[in-house]
Amino acid sequence: MKKPVIAVVSSSLRAQSRSRAMSRGAAEILREAGAETSFINLAELNVLPYPRSNDDAAVRDACARFNAADGWVIATPVYNFGASGGLLDFLHIALDSDLGKWKPFVLLSSLGGVRSSLSLDHLARTLVYEVSAVQVGPALLCFNDTEVNPVTGALSAELAGRMRTQLGVLVKYGGVAQN
């Protein structure tokens, strides 16, 4: 069996973003666990509300890499009790059940308080109901600069340990989801 490919999507546009640092750490952990990774950094793209990016070659390429993957790690900041608007714009373009169902996914998020973690259920529901994706565990969350240093990108040992456990399961599910 070939290595499962996991697309890792980072959606914060901030220069020093905790969720992007988490997504970079996740990519490293996934590779250690035996997956190939395809990193999609929305901060390097100009994703406009649908359908204004339909003819953007870089956005189309990112959508193709997203859909070609066997599983997904999707990282988002929480803004106003919701996922990043840019991420939702990307998903409006990318999600396509004709290009694959049942993909396992893990959400990563950085936010200010635990109450807002409930808002990530909206993002999970979008993936489950739109493309029959399968959520692997609850979202992995970061609440402060001790857990994730946004300047150095360093993750706390405790968070890295939890990510290693959950992303290891994602890699196994990604192997099963392969065509």
From the list 36-44, 93-101, 112-120, 159-167, the region that binds ligand FMN by CB under 6 A is 112-120
Residue closest to 174 by CA, chosen among 103, 89, 108: 103
Q: Classify burial at 10, counting beta carbons within 10 Å of its beta carbon; exposed 0-12, middle 13-18, buried 19 or more.
A: buried
H-type alpha helices, 69-179: 85-94, 120-131, 157-177
Site for ligand FMN contains 81 (CB under 6 A): yes
Q: Which residue is nearest to ligand FMN (CB)?
A: 77
148: tokens are 């994730």
Q: Is 110 helix (H, G, I), strand (E, B) or coil?
A: strand
Site for ligand FMN contains 40 (CB under 6 A): no
Site for ligand FMN contains 77 (CB under 6 A): yes
Encoded one letter per residue, x for contact with ligand FMN by CB under 6 A and - for no contact, window 8-27 reads ----x-x--xxxx-------
Give me the least distance between CB of 96 and ligand FMN, in Å please.
26
Binder of ligand FMN out of 1, 51, 57, 113 (CB under 6 A): 113
H-type alpha helices, the chain: 18-32, 57-68, 85-94, 120-131, 157-177
Interface contacts to ligand FMN, rule CB under 6 A: 12, 14, 17-20, 77-81, 110-113, 116, 150
